[in-house]
């Protein structure tokens, strides 16, 4: 039953709400972002790229490649972490969260280390806040929190990633 609860909640968390698109500010306050049906994603992504008004953060090509590789690694870590949580393996999940998403990840992933030298302060702070949230969740897992607290922690991490990606673009 607990495994089903974790998996269902994880899928709902990743799917997000369906309905009118909130502004970024309201999404951050409500801790939710709009869902995009999979069949509409390619058209929406093309429209977004043509009208992309997010501020450009200029980074070296090397830094962009490293940072994107690290971000792909973090996305893969999400899948591992949700699986560990669904299986009730909180200690393993805590280790995965800290090593792949937490403050430890900032020190061990080459893209994050290089990018931290090139990113504007406000972008760097958004990243640090996300990594701090991950470390806090990892530490809290040692106390066997209720599933709702775990989901809230994972949502906080995900919201940090999403807020930055919605606010900035790199090239």
What residues form DSSP beta bridges with 57?
A: 170
Q: Which residues lie closer than 8 Å to 84 by C-beta, 6 or more apart? A: 90, 92, 93, 96
Interval 116-159: pLDDT, tens:
888 899 999 999 999 999 999 999 999 999 999 999 999 999 99
Interval 42-69: pLDDT, tens:
554 445 556 899 999 999 998 888 889 8
pTM of the model: 0.69
- CATH number of this structure's domain 58-171: 1.20.120
Say how many C-beta atoms besides its own lie within 10 A of residue 72's C-beta. 11
Helix (H/G/I), strand (E/B), else coil: 99 = helix
Interval 11-29: pLDDT, tens:
444 444 433 333 333 333 3
């Amino acid at each position: 039953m607990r495994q089903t609860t974790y998996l269902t909640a994880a899928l709902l968390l990743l799917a997000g709400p369906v309905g009118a698109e909130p502004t970024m500010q309201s999404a951050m306050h409500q801790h939710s972002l709009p869902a995009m049906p999979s069949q509409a994603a390619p058209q929406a992504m093309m429209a977004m790229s043509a009208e992309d008004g997010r501020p450009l953060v200029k980074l070296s090509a090397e830094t962009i490649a490293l940072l994107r590789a690290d971000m792909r690694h973090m996305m893969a870590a999400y899948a591992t972490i949700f699986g560990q949580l669904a299986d009730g393996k909180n200690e393993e999940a805590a280790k995965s969260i800290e090593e792949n998403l937490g403050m430890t990840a900032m020190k061990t992933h080459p893209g994050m280390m290089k990018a931290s030298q090139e990113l504007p302060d406000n972008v760097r702070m958004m990243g640090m806040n996300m990594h701090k949230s991950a470390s806090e969740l990892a530490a809290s897992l040692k106390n066997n929190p209720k599933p709702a607290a775990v989901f809230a922690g994972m949502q906080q991490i995900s919201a940090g990633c999403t807020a930055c990606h919605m606010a900035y673009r790199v090239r």
